[in-house]
Amino acid sequence: MRLTPEQQDIIREEIHAIFGPEARVHLFGSRTDDTARGGDIDLYIEAPGTEAELLDRELRLYARLQRRLGERRIDIVTHDPNRPLRPIDRHARETGVVL
């Protein structure tokens, strides 16, 4: 995984502050490959909420991570575990690393 322990802690702190302690987060995409270089930070977050609530939290999380991690490309995918899985949800769960 190509995130420092400090970056992982920041991501977990911010997700739990915004989405609550029950939220689960996976890092997926190129940052899970230790042999790759560069790439954005792809985060998959499972937390209950309506689409509007999850979008609001996603935008707040993005802003807070930009401030704490520095300006970088961050993609965030949210999913309410009470809803059916989409292809991106399956992919992130299967290939991602739990933070």
At 19 the pLDDT is 97
pLDDT tens track for 14-54: 999 999 999 999 999 876 766 667 678 999 999 999 999 99
Q: pTM of the entire structure?
A: 0.90
At 38 the pLDDT is 64
- Strand 41-46 and strand 24-28: the pairing is antiparallel
At 33 the pLDDT is 63
Structure tokens at 8: 């992982």
Partners of 26 in beta bridges: 44, 98
Tell me, letter by letter, the H, E, C secondary structure of 5-49.
Answer: HHHHHHHHHHHHHHHCCCCEEEEECHHHCCCCCCCCEEEEEECCC
Looking at the 3D structure of the chain, how many domains does it have? 1
Range of the domain at 83: 5-98
CATH number of the structural domain spanning residue 27: 3.30.460.10
